[in-house]
Homo-oligomer: A and B are copies of this chain.
Amino acid sequence: MSITREHACAMDANDPLATLREQFVLPEGVIYLDGNSLGALPRATASRVQSVMADEWGQQLIASWNTAGWIDLPRSVGDRIARLLGVGAGEVVVADSTSVNLFKVLSAALRIAQHDSRRRVIVSERSNFPTDLYIAQSLAQQFDCELRLLDADTLAQGIDSEVAVVMLTHVNYRTGAMHDMGALSRKAHAVGALTVWDLAHSAGAVPLALKEDAADFAIGCGYKYLNGGPGAPAFVWVDPQWVDQFQQPLSGWMGHAAPFAFDPQYAPASGTSRYLCGTPAVIAMAALECGVESVLAAETYGGMAAIRAKSLALTELFAECVSKFAKGYGLRLVSPHEANRRGSQISLTCEEGAYAIVQALIARGVIGDFRAGDGVAMPDILRFGFAPLYTRFVDAWDAATHLHEVLQSGNWREARFAARHAVT
């Protein structure tokens, strides 16, 4: 039995999170399935940023570092994000980019891991997001380590007593496959290794419980499911047990115990402020705060559990609609079939034309992403992100229908589309 559009509409009518969509500006005639690349604009952001500029910067000028709480933004926005990670207030700070934060925590983790042993291996996943691998390559050189890249299904075996740090992205950016954070972290701990988790495609999309899942360090992105805006600042969480041993390589003044004492000798702050480096990016952090608030607004309706339930229902609906015509066009699901093993996206492969098909969909107003394969193990993929705060069931149904029509028409074969960048 096929799912009907009416059925999808009925699911929207029963969706406890449905009203949260009103928080966002969404362009007319567009089905936006790229919130895992760039989250949508919350309506509240424009007026908040305007006020930061016109009132706080324009009128109060330098005084706003105190009177408007600018100096506390890394911690105050961090406290809000902490609620999405299942960790305590005062454990998360917002700062810099995901890549820069990964450098900080991986460096600190390696230093702790090598303190009393000669561990020389960083384990990661072969198909991890490249920036994570690049940062690990730089630090592997500095710390005289080998970067051991494994496929997802052999990760657990590859975590042995040589390993200093297991560095993984929780939800894979290509496939949407989600690691079992608790199992892998405990495996790492069992052999004496530390864990670093990249939550780029998890924060705001799936429930997290970092402490229970035995994570040691985590970083994540502000501009995907947190709706913080293009290039939004990123965040850092560190298990409180490691704070005092966290040696900050990017020892900028905002991580100093007393930044305004202008002491010539670096002395790290005692708490999470230690993970900061330079002056907080105030305007960007204000925008991120609005984005995080747009996710926290779900707390009234069941919070992350409700977001996860809707996310799974959305991806399930889309996958099921696609499955009806997939075989005839060589389409194949790359994301895990088991709902509890995937994040909030559906990735598909096809035998040919993945790029052109994505472009044909975009021309119809269905915004997904193309991710190139490596020509060997990893195929080209069509990637569809489902942000439960603003994606409706009828959007998932319509998107699948558009995909079917594109494939039926065969138009994409003739079309020529300009190359296009896309930010993960």
Contact = CB atoms under 8 A, between A and B. Distances in A.
B49 A53 contact: yes
Interface string A52-82: 0110111111111110001100000000000
Contacts of A30: 61
A190 to B, nearest CB: 28
A149 interface: yes
Interface residues of A, number: 90
Given A66-B421, A260-B422, A282-B229, A99 B252 contact: yes
Nearest to A38: B62
A223 B56 CA distance: 14
Contacts of A60: 27
Contact of A281 (B25, B57, B284, B421): B284
A100 B275 CA distance: 13
Given A41-B58, A97-B279, A372-B262, A253 B71 contact: no
Interface of A, secondary structure class, is: mixed
A189 to B, nearest CB: 27
Contacts of A260: 421-422
A92 B97 CA distance: 20
Contacts of A421: 65-66, 71, 259-260
B61 A130 contact: no
A46 B53 contact: yes
B99 A97 contact: no
Interface string A274-315: 000111111111010000000000000000000000000000
Contacts of A248: 138
A98 interface: yes
Oligomeric state, in copies: 2
Contact of A229 (B34, B57, B259): B57
A11 interface: no
Contact of A266 (B70, B134, B281): B134
Contacts of A369: 62
B54 A46 contact: yes
A254 to B, nearest CB: 8
A229 B134 contact: no
B25 A58 contact: yes
Interface of A: 25, 27, 30, 32, 34, 37-38, 40-41, 45-46, 49-50, 53-54, 56-66, 70-71, 96-100, 103, 126-131, 133-135, 137-138, 142, 149, 223, 229-234, 248-254, 256, 259-266, 277-285, 287, 367, 369, 371-372, 374, 420-424
13 contacts: A38-B61, A65-B421, A70-B230, A96-B100, A97-B277, A100-B100, A100-B277, A103-B249, A129-B262, A134-B253, A138-B248, A231-B278, A231-B282
